[in-house]
Structure 1
């Protein structure tokens, strides 16, 4: 069975590449080992799919080559995807920081992509395992669990290693290496942190407590919600900074951004000297967290009995809590994979491998990782559009 292009991977990038090429009259086959297409789309955004972000720019992406993503992002902007969503009658709303979600189910986005693929005559082969890939002068040959397929072009849209229970594997990286491409070491990104036994014990009972916080790792910082869990820390601020964190790094957490806690405690000591320090701190933080921080710093009792030194120690724990995570929850819960196929070997305009004509890599399998908030989907659409327009 011969096609103009075969796309391995029926996720966001693969389907968007397929529908783009299909619109141009290309005969396209999409292969995936999963039972259903677009499963990561379906579970995203709490089932409502955070399908793009109106503030998308190069600053929202990590890569060893930070400028690589710019061309594709400029070629297919959020407004173009929004227009497609609206043509399909899908109602949407904007949340904080430019994040767009479906009013209804994220399945609407999957159905939209499949509908567009159908219009373009795209063939979809699910529950199909790719056993081997080889290249000849005329193109690529794939041996699969459903027989042999051939095409002039091959697009690898296999995603990363995140959420293996949904079928994620390192297949795309293996394929890249087969064709002589280098792969930037991969790691879990947009993922909760875990703590060692000693720190977990100190924070025991805080699971479920949430605060607005600013979290920094090196020179990078994010100000969003933070959530204590029974294993460590999560929430948007933590997921964001995790993409920049490496094993052994320290993070600095400000649990009361915008407040000089030392100054506020000193002021409270003057105005209400008989007040308990926990009560004063509870004006800024949930009481359970205030109590725990006072215990951890051994700063307890009436404000009148506490010196500047003691108050400064407590304030430091609030405004500049330095903590070294023992690790992350790994690919099991990571939303995306950082690292991937080295972009130095790809055309930024078409995603084609420079030294292997007809071979393309798009989406998460490439060393381009977006921040939380719809940016990774926009990269999927943009990189898929770039390759789909070149097939």
Structure 2
């Protein structure tokens, strides 16, 4: 039976980063992953260029049933720390939108960087390899000190175990609920997982007037929820055959709950009522043409048809109340999604291991000493824009630094 100081289960962003850092701090580390290909979520992220962090990261960019939990890890390993590591490895990058950082070349560079960090820490990696079961110290035999892991490559002994797998998004690249099932079996509460950063869908009949707008994109203000649970974003919206997507919808999907409505302003930062009434007084153009100067033409036509307005009427012929209602509909569009595109299209999972049962300083379980949870399996979900990768790096660093300190004290 082989023995290690640390076994990391999951060779994704959080798992590889934690393993490399722990190995370089004196731990004997083994990484196990069931998938044949390494770090597929990193590879496909950001259109293949990996949006690896954001310049501006804070607790307000994350959702959790325990919002303050992420504060410690994020403060102690910042986006600037990860940027410095990227620069150390000579990886070129650029900023796109609202602080989002992408590789100039390929996401493969981030994967190779993580592997180099693991090599520097003499980390061993078994992949593909399945972890059949994990026996905590209380469950393991008296002859075994620490954890006993049954794997498809044999039995392994470890002083500590890090679970860095359990996010359910994009199952076709190997996502599974293994980490969540282990956490639950060992007595942890699980915040119900649900798809996040995902396109939203609508009942086919209700969506029929808008299905012809598929492919159309425009900037909007979208919001949902109430009080502290309210989300509000100014981003681009994309119409699809089945519903809505684009950055605005991906962002708001993390806040949206079944049965709630979205409020969408299709003309943010514009007083549309005043603009249409002004046009009535000064313009001889047709209503359809006037709207087409403010919105994409297909959208303008769909809205006049939906409200039963004659787009060929000249502006002076339009009634004030019709223009006011049109403006109100366009700037306070209320619609209730029937669901989402689900795990196959979700970029991340919301929910996971309840953080009230974890130590925010090192990500260690309060129920099972020596057991740690990092990354997406934890109930911490970032906004779109590199925040979830930064949580992976920060939670992994919090865990690895603690384990390294334990080794140095031993």
Asked if these proteins are the same fold (TM beyond 0.5), I'd say yes
Could you tell me the TM-score, scaled by structure 2's length? 0.94
1:340 has 2:328 as partner: no
Provide the residue aligned with 1:234 in structure 2.
Answer: 245
The alpha carbon displacement at 1:5 in A equals 0.4
Match of 1:96 in 2: 97
Q: Which residue of 2 aligns with 1:194?
A: 201
- 1:46, distance to aligned residue in structure 2 (A): 0.5
Aligned length: 390
Aligned to 2:28: 27
Tell me, in whole angstroms, the C-alpha distance in 1 between the residues paired with 2:14 and 2:267.
39
> Which segments of structure 1 move beyond 4 Å, counting only runs of 4 or more?
none
Counterpart in the other structure of 1:366: 378
- Rounded Cα–Cα distance in structure 1 between residues aligned with 2:137 and 2:327: 66
Q: 1:107 aligns to what?
A: 108
Mapping of residues 319-330 of structure 1, within 5 Å = 319-330=331-342
Partner of 1:288 in structure 2? 298
TM-score norm. by structure 1 comes to 0.98
Q: What CA distance in whole angstroms lies between the structure 1 residues aligned with 2:275 and 2:232? A: 24
The answer to whether structure 1 residue 144 and structure 2 residue 154 are counterparts is no
8 Å CA contact retained: 1:184, 1:341? yes
**Structure 1 residues 270-309: aligned runs within 5 Å:** 270-272=281-283, 274-300=284-310, 301-309=313-321
In structure 2, distance between residues paired with 1:309 and 1:150: 75
* CA deviations over 1:307-344 (Å, ceiling 9, x no partner): 11111111112111100011100111000000000000
1:245-275 CA distances to partner (integer Å, 9 max, x unpaired)? 0001000001110111111111111111x31
**1:179 aligned residue:** 186
Question: Structure 2: how far apart are the matches of 1:62 and 1:106?
Answer: 26
* Corresponding residue for residue 57 of structure 1: 58
Deviation of 1:2 after TM superposition, in Å, equals 0.6
> What does residue 167 of structure 2 align with?
160
Shift in Å, 1:15:
0.6
Distance 1:283 1:214 in 2: 19
The residue aligned with 1:269 is 280
2:369 aligned to which of 349, 357, 370: 357
- Structure 1 segments unaligned to the other structure (5+ residues): none
- Displacement of 1:355 in angstroms is 2.3
Coordinate RMSD, CA, aligned: 0.9
Measured after TM superposition, the shift of residue 204 of structure 1 is 2.1
Q: 1:239 is paired with a residue of what secondary structure?
A: helix
Alignment-derived partner of residue 37 in structure 1:
38
1:105 and 1:150 map into 2 onto residues whose CA distance is 37
Which deviates the most, 363-372 or 308-317?
308-317
**Secondary structure of 1:298 counterpart:** coil
Structure 1 CA distance, aligned partners of 2:294 and 2:113? 45
Whether contact under 8 Å (1:18, 1:388) holds in the other structure is yes
Tell me what 2:406 maps to: none
Whole-Å separation in 2 of the counterparts to 1:242 and 1:58: 18
SS in 2 for 1:117: helix
Contact between 2:204 and 2:242, CA under 8 Å: does it hold in 1?
no
Is residue 187–residue 367 contact of structure 2 (8 Å, CA) maintained in 1?
Answer: no
CA distance in 2, matches of 1:289, 1:188: 29
Q: Residue in 2 aligned with 1:259? A: 270
Q: Secondary structure at the match of 1:389?
A: helix
Residue matched to 2:122: 121
- Give the conservation status (yes or no) of the 8 Å contact 2:200–2:249: yes
User: What is residue 77 of structure 2 aligned with on the other side?
Assistant: 76
- Counting only pairs closer than 5 Å after superposition, residues 217-228 of structure 1 correspond to structure 2 as 217-218=224-225, 219-228=230-239
After superposition, give the CA deviation of every residue in 1:276-321 in whole Å (9 maximum; x if it has no partner): 1111111121101111011111122222221111111111121111
Contact 1:51 1:100 in 2 (8 A): yes
Matched, 1:389 2:401: yes
In 2, Cα distance between equivalents of 1:150 and 1:295: 68
CA contact (8 A) 1:2 1:150 kept: yes
Q: Deviations over 1:147-171 (max 9, x none)?
A: 1111000000004111011111111
Distance in 2 (alpha carbons) for counterparts of 1:174 and 1:385: 24
